[in-house]
Structure 1
């Protein structure tokens, strides 16, 4: 397995995720709109499933590409429709992207590395806060008591951090609650305990691990807005779940609502690698705790998602239709015959030649009553868009004796195979 082959497989997988992510995000948005009055746990699971689909779909495609499997699927036909010019011509975006694949993958890797470094610095800040700041005996006793009430068997530490503006929870095996010094000294004990109960709910649910996984997905697919939107929805629903658990434990939703209102006086923390009480829409959470109401359907948000999902599914369904299903094919008296004098040998694309790309492109193409190729479709890709594009160009130059049915010329589909080898 050569490096150019790996770059090619990874690059096309990343590009295809542009439409894959849009489709997954649109469908998830419609489901969440339909479930707007369901419990936050239901919406949380739906959003998590959407984000998981954003991981599994490109992962499956990359695996198939690396294995050299037959990519004759509705997905690949749909991708052809997006990355190939109109009328089956491949002289457009597809060939251009193939020539720039090394730069595309290089740019993606560079941006992902920067985001990964940022995540690493955030984790380092958390560890330094754990080791470099003191505790408060009274608050540590409260945290220990809350841990027992929530059924958390691990020891939970508390650290008072001067530069923080909201309580945060970090760590799984050794969880720690980071409390701003201003809150530790300035907030009434009952309100601060309500916020600490919220943090303990995060620890009880192992939300820190899920949050780290979200960051990893955001790093890999940073260019896809649907991934960021899904992550925001997951975090918002997660905060509501923690609110419910904390309110149930304290027995007073209004106390937690008052505590959350107090947080508005502080600047929101920028250390998002931890999970904390300032996540989600704070005012909406306060209103929900004090006076939960049924949510009306927001059509301005639903209609764009509905339109995008319908467009993607419609194109996908069209692409999945077998391209050789021509009812005239079974009654042909004579298949189209190629006039080989008109067919030139396809030119090996320079970029693919330099990269050492090989493979087999199997084309389905339609010959009209005048013997001209009017449409063509990749039935089996070579694994390289440049080679497939060259096959499209070659077949378009061929002329044929048209097929005949009942003694008359008819339009008919044929198939031809191009084998790309390096001498």
Structure 2
């Protein structure tokens, strides 16, 4: 039970620790990319912000799962700085199985409390999302089918043709203050019962054009996927700003599609303002489980985007900007996955047997405790014989930080003495448990490699 708890704590804390710094890096890269491609339209901006969200959700786990990226970077750096060493044989040291660029250590109760809190926040938002989907199904089930008049049906049909959208089902719901779209496989457009009678033909057409743009882009399904991807990051303050940027660019992209379909951004903007005033008089209530006309983002920015005039770029300039933005995003993603900070699983150390037995501590934790490290020397005879491989050692570190006992677990015989002679000289800071120096048992891996 304790081993399972420690494992869960380690996984959760490693994910949170890496997400804490990776999300700001990816957010800044996405912001820079959207500034570079601001003339490409709001749909491009939403794709960039959406990609940043998915990478931010995956990168903390991927950086731990793919440590070879970090090792490859270290190896290439060593080749640049010490080409002769690579030619004559290189020795790299890894204190245990944890391939991390940094390590933090928590006491057992603190680690458990933090990980439990993060899991609780994630579970709360997961339940909230599940409840919103239940409410969505209930809203669709209780809606009443709407029969359009001949004139409204003609406008509706023409609008669907203009937007190249298969006409979704239309229904009314008295609980709504404005039009919304919901449904993944079978989109449904829900309207307040008074919308047809109280709005002019132009205002009705503008509202329907915007909602049909959501249907055309399959925004409801994409919104649901993004909400699921954001669940493990809900504790991060910057996530709220990232989601707001996604929602704002999504609504602006639908505005652009609707304005093009109605052949006039100025007229559409005027209709949008009248719709906002009409909905505002009805004391609108938010609908987090559906995509509404005014559910996301300030209206002023959307009107400004509709009415401002932007000069078009040449094909060459557009291509160069896209390549630059893609390079920036790719470099940021690679950095986020290659660099990994770790939380040692030995935060709740395992007592071997007996009160005086050394505790088992992960090598990634003990790496930060080293005061003196002597580098192993590649044995000349082993180089001539082209012998290479890894020597895994089991070390017992005394209370004063010196190596008390050292055993070979595995590795070529010709390389074992070199590894043992070097590691015996290492000195660590005393490992403290409850404020008292404690003997520690850990694993150390020495890699010997020859250039091919």
**Displacement after TM superposition at 1:184 (Å):** 3.1
| Matched residue SS, 2:220 | helix
- 2:350, 2:232 → 1: CA distance? 30
1:6-155 to 2 correspondence within 5 Å? 6-61=8-63, 63=65, 78-80=101-103, 83=104, 94-96=105-107, 99-138=109-148, 141=153, 142-153=155-166
- 1:43, 1:12 → 2: CA distance? 30
Check 1:27–1:165 CA distance in 2 against 1; reply closer, same or farther (3 A cut).
Answer: same
| Matched residue SS, 1:137 | coil
**Displacement after TM superposition at 1:113 (Å):** 1.9
Does the 8 Å contact 2:266/2:306 carry over to 1?
yes
- 2:372, 2:351 → 1: CA distance? 33
**Displacement after TM superposition at 1:204 (Å):** 0.7
| Matched residue SS, 1:25 | helix
1:149-168 to 2 correspondence within 5 Å? 149-153=162-166, 156-168=168-180
Aligned pair partner of 1:184 in 183, 191, 196: 196
**Displacement after TM superposition at 1:198 (Å):** 0.9
Q: 1:363 corresponds to which residue?
A: 367
**Displacement after TM superposition at 1:3 (Å):** 4.6
- 1:245, 1:350 → 2: CA distance? 54
Q: 1:282 corresponds to which residue?
A: 299
- 1:239, 1:102 → 2: CA distance? 41
| Matched residue SS, 1:169 | strand
Q: 1:375 corresponds to which residue?
A: none
Answer yes or no: is 1:352 the counterpart of 2:349. yes
Answer yes or no: is 1:174 the counterpart of 2:186. yes
Check 1:255–1:10 CA distance in 2 against 1; reply closer, same or farther (3 A cut).
Answer: same
- 1:36, 1:191 → 2: CA distance? 29
Does the 8 Å contact 1:13/1:61 carry over to 2?
no
Deviations 1:86-107 (A, max 9, x none): xxxxxxxx334x5422222222
**Displacement after TM superposition at 1:229 (Å):** 1.6
Q: 1:230 corresponds to which residue?
A: 242
Answer yes or no: is 1:256 the counterpart of 2:268. yes
* Residue-pair matches, total: 327
**Displacement after TM superposition at 1:114 (Å):** 1.8
- 1:289, 1:70 → 2: CA distance? 44
- 1:198, 1:101 → 2: CA distance? 48
Deviations 1:163-201 (A, max 9, x none): 222211111211011212343331112211111111111
**Displacement after TM superposition at 1:211 (Å):** 0.6
**Displacement after TM superposition at 1:397 (Å):** 4.0
Does the 8 Å contact 1:172/1:203 carry over to 2?
no
- 2:205, 2:69 → 1: CA distance? 59
Q: 2:411 corresponds to which residue?
A: none
Give the superposed CA RMSD: 4.2
Check 1:135–1:354 CA distance in 2 against 1; reply closer, same or farther (3 A cut).
Answer: farther
Does the 8 Å contact 1:236/1:280 carry over to 2?
yes
- 1:133, 1:349 → 2: CA distance? 56
Q: 1:91 corresponds to which residue?
A: none
Check 1:178–1:76 CA distance in 2 against 1; reply closer, same or farther (3 A cut).
Answer: farther
- 1:363, 1:49 → 2: CA distance? 35
**Displacement after TM superposition at 1:350 (Å):** 8.0
Deviations 1:288-333 (A, max 9, x none): 2234368xxxxxxxxxxxxxx9xxx9xx89x97xxxxxxxxxxxxx
**Displacement after TM superposition at 1:224 (Å):** 1.3
| Matched residue SS, 1:58 | helix
| Matched residue SS, 1:95 | coil
Does the 8 Å contact 2:57/2:232 carry over to 1?
no
Check 1:252–1:357 CA distance in 2 against 1; reply closer, same or farther (3 A cut).
Answer: farther
Does 1 or 2 have the higher relative contact order (CA < 8 Å, sep 6+)? 2
Q: TM-score, normalised by structure 1?
A: 0.65
- 2:347, 2:57 → 1: CA distance? 33
| Matched residue SS, 2:148 | helix
Unaligned runs of 5+ in 2: 75-97, 312-327, 340-344, 353-358, 374-395, 404-424, 429-439, 444-452
Unaligned runs of 5+ in 1: 84-93, 295-308, 321-347, 369-389, 400-413
Check 1:261–1:180 CA distance in 2 against 1; reply closer, same or farther (3 A cut).
Answer: same
Does the 8 Å contact 1:143/1:158 carry over to 2?
no
